[in-house]
Chains A and B, each alone.
Chain A
Amino acid sequence: MIGIIDYGMGNLHSVYNALNHLGLEAVISDDAAILETCDQLILPGVGAFGDMMDCLESKGLDQWLIHQAKEVKKPLLGICLGMQALFESSSENGLRKGLGLLQGKVIRMSDPGIRIPEIGWNELIVADDHPLKSRLSARPFAYYDHSYYASEWNPSDLAAYSCYGPYVIPGFVQKGNIAGAQFHPEKSSKDGLRILEWFGKEFAS
């Protein structure tokens, strides 16, 4: 069972629908007691960083998540804003602390040569030694929709990236049981579904 963390915002059903389509059982909940029974966790997200952290903190889910990820070593996948939450901080609407599970700071893109937000499909360059490499098509594309991105990440956490203007966007990061996708796998057609399938069936601590 995969627990989709409901923090009161966003389109949680897209992730649920995609898992359902793949035959993976999932439950959407904001109740730590229910989420604790799940084998894996997904932190989805759209909206603003501060609002998300407010919601997580008001439900006590921030500390719970840190415990689950660090001590219990439960497999965790953050998606888009949920991925950004894994890092140390974000500068969206003033500096705000993240969960601090991964090294890196989330900052706004700003370059006159590119459109912001980045909306659309960008080629995903997967590291040769990452298990996703053999599971995706020869030239995978992923759907991105974001204005902020993680910088100063640890190179050893980078599993796949995309290029946007002057930026190397960390598309998929992984450190042990903790993974994150800046793009939306649930909206990235076949290759996106393959990523969720890999997470649901093979990704374990």
Chain B
Amino acid sequence: MLTKRIIPCLDVRDGKVVKGINFVGIKEVGDPVELAKAYDEQGADELVFLDITATSDDRKTMVDVVQRVAREIFIPFTVGGGIRSIQDIRTMLLAGADKVSLNSSALKNPQLIAQGAKMFGSQCIVLAVDAKAREDGSGWDAYVAGGRINTGKDVLEWVKEATKLGAGEILLTSMDADGTKAGFDMKLTQAVRDAVSVPVIASGGCGSLEDFAQVLKNDTADAALAASLFHYGELSVSQVKDYLKEQGVHVR
């Protein structure tokens, strides 16, 4: 039986993980490779590295990070942030990433999904969606630029279109829940999962063990992603896994 996945997300800037200040047992705090190793030891099922650098010079640093991680970590990992072209996808995959996540570039040019999936396989094209509820409650819009710009694109329509084009997985972040620590956005996550047949990773809002169980137990999502909760050492991946086992959720 396929297990539910727990995925720590690491924000990387200038070759260093930001937000990682309270992690126990790591020599050089903020080093992506050391953090990735620690998460692997804790039983993380996958990792997501989000490149939050702005300039192309720093992009080279990210490629270097990906290469270093790939040499030492033997669990799958996804790289996202600033991937705009087939060439960018190829560069990250050749550097050792297993998957890339596309967000604003895919919204701007949906054919990038189709080209990427055709060339490298659907399994390595993850569609990242930043969703925010419309004020009238009629649904959700897809946002870009870290949630600052509303594209006006309906989230449910967009995920359907993107999976038809070849996206193999949806990384769904609720802008409404993100940072609240009040739990995953269950309504949004369920709606997206019902709209597509590919796996859905829930992200944004996780603040406790119960939140993980809530979104995974009733099969609302295939995986749950969290960042600061793990980086600040509030919870370890192994704690989450132990709790989920107690709750009857099938995990590794």
* Interface flag for A192 (CB, 8 Å): yes
* Interface flag for A48 (CB, 8 Å): yes
User: B74 touches which one: A10, A18, A47, A122 (CB < 8 A)?
Assistant: A18
Q: Which residues of B contact A123 (CB under 8 A)?
A: 1, 3
Q: Which residues of A contact B165 (CB under 8 A)?
A: none
Find the A residue at minimum CB distance from B124: A46
Q: Please report the C-alpha to C-alpha distance between residue A39 and residue B18 in the assembled complex, in whole angstroms.
A: 45
Q: Which residues of B contact A144 (CB under 8 A)?
A: 2
B residues bordering A, Cβ < 8 Å?
1-5, 40, 45, 70-72, 74-76, 93-98, 118-124, 168-169, 197-199, 222-223, 252
Q: Are A121 and B94 in contact (CB under 8 A)?
A: no
A residues bordering B, Cβ < 8 Å?
9-11, 13-14, 17-18, 20-21, 46-48, 81, 114-123, 141, 143-147, 163-164, 184, 186-190, 192-193
A116 with B76, Cβ < 8 A, contacts A141-B3, A147-B122 known: no
Q: Please report the C-alpha to C-alpha distance between residue A160 and residue B1 in the assembled complex, in whole angstroms.
A: 14
A115 with B198, Cβ < 8 A, contacts A11-B93, A143-B75 known: yes
User: A122 touches which one: B3, B123, B124, B199 (CB < 8 A)?
Assistant: B3
Q: Which residues of A contact B199 (CB under 8 A)?
A: 115, 117, 119-120
**B45 → A minimal CB distance (Å):** 6
Q: Are B123 and A145 in contact (CB under 8 A)?
A: yes
Q: Are A147 and B74 in contact (CB under 8 A)?
A: no
A48 with B121, Cβ < 8 A, contacts A14-B98, A17-B70, A121-B5 known: yes
